[in-house]
């Protein structure tokens, strides 16, 4: 009889990459392709510029192209895995608790950043974003999350406000 190594109250762990169903990868791949293609279409009206004098369309076109390429590669990989594994095996219906927890925390951190960036400034908004997102995985201490939040807020302030000179308020 196999023993229960997780315990009765422990949340279910995400399956390793080899145990995931290829349909999960195919859905992610199609999402990458849709977002990447959308970015390419939207950015097609922007001026591209040169590498020396970059226009506003250079970055979205590069990211959209990269997302689309990753989506195509992941589509091919999932189709090959599907054929190897057999299409008759059904994927799990609901994501695990750990996956849903991570999704909620990451989305909450992005929402907090969007709400705080104007009134609180880049430093505080970035620190809150990092702190909330580090709480997505249990087992990380609050002190560690605070240190990481402050360190990344300093880096973001140095790069975006001091280095690049973006007109984002640093403080409230």
Q: What is the pTM of this model?
A: 0.55
DSSP per residue, 3-55: --SS-SSSPPPPPPTTTS-HHHHHHHHHHHHHHHHHHHHHHTTS--B-SSSB-
- Please state the rounded mean pLDDT for residues 8-25: 57
Q: Among the listed ranges 10-24, 94-108, 110-124, which one has the minimum average pLDDT value?
A: 10-24
Chain-wide mean pLDDT for the chain?
81
Q: Is the pLDDT of residue 152 over 90?
A: yes
Cβ within 8 Å of residue 82, ≥6 positions away: 22, 23, 26
Domain ranges of the chain: 22-85, 97-163
Each residue of 65-111: pLDDT tens digit?
999 999 999 888 888 877 776 655 555 566 677 778 888 898 999 99
Judge contact between 121 and 62, C-beta under 8 A: no
Per-residue exposure over 129-168, b if at least 16 CB sit within 10 Å of its own CB, e if not: bbbbbbbbeeeeeeeebeebbeebbeebbeeebeeeeeeb
């Amino acid at each position: 009889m196999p023993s229960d190594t997780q315990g009765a109250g422990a949340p279910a762990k995400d399956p390793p990459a080899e145990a995931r169903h290829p349909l999960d990868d195919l859905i992610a791949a199609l999402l990458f392709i849709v977002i990447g293609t959308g970015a390419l279409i939207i950015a097609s009206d922007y001026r591209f510029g040169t590498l020396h004098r970059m226009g506003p369309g250079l970055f979205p076109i590069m990211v959209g192209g990269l997302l689309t390429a990753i989506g195509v590669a992941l589509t091919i990989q999932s189709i090959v895995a599907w054929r190897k594994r057999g299409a008759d095996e059904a994927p799990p219906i609901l994501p695990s608790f750990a996956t849903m927890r991570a999704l909620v925390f990451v989305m909450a951190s992005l929402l907090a950043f969007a709400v705080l960036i104007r009134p609180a400034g880049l430093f505080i908004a970035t620190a809150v974003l990092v702190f909330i997102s580090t709480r997505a995985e249990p087992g990380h201490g609050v002190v560690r999350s605070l240190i990481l939040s402050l360190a990344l807020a300093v880096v973001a302030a140095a790069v975006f406000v001091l280095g690049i000179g973006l007109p984002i308020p640093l403080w409230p």
